Chains A and B, each alone.
Chain A
């Protein structure tokens, strides 16, 4: 079975500091992709960053980077230089090649950036 676990229901970070949001995943399939989405209070789902299971390097997109530790099956999102606008829910998601095209989502982490 495919599963995504996010163990931090809520996190706080000081503005301009870095924060790490945890994500662990479970799949026996060697081919998969990991995605992070941001969901502000308005409700939309915004794609942030992607990491493929065969990627040799950690993904980076601006202030977002992914700390991918394949042996530990973790794909933590690191947000550097936090801004007030980063306050939102963050969801980790996985797509597994041999189980179709659906995304499996975690329960999310609510991030609050403190001025």
Chain B
């Protein structure tokens, strides 16, 4: 069964450094998302992306964050200058359609640790 893949599985970065989290969505999916989950807390929406542009973003997704689809398969989340509070599990998700009964398919996540 096709799946969303995320790399790396664990990233350790010094505070203030830039980090790029990578995702390969399911190949026939058109809608892409990033979520984050701070340890012990609920999953929070960051951003959705369709047709090479951001379609929605949350208050968390400030100027430090950016997303990109650099080629036909990858979808990346960049954090420009990381802060301690950026430590979390970051999930990429994709879906074939929007506003439907289709679930968003999640990757296994990248655990980001900021030191």
Contact = CB atoms under 8 A, between A and B. Distances in A.
Interface residues of B, number: 28
Interface class of chain B by DSSP: strand
A95 B108 CA distance: 21
B45 A102 contact: yes
Contact of A91 (B42, B45, B48, B58): B42
B75 interface: no
Interface of B: 31, 33, 35, 41-45, 48, 55-56, 58, 89, 91, 93, 95, 98-101, 103-109, 111
Given A43-B108, A101-B98, A107 B41 contact: yes
Interface stretch (A12-20, A44-52, A77-85): A44-52
Interface of A: 33, 35, 37, 42-47, 50, 52, 91, 93, 95, 97, 100-108
A102 B48 contact: yes
A35 B98 contact: no
B31 A101 contact: yes
B48 A44 contact: no
Given A46-B106, A91-B42, A101-B95, 9 more contacts: A42-B108, A44-B109, A47-B104, A47-B105, A47-B106, A101-B48, A101-B98, A102-B48, A105-B44
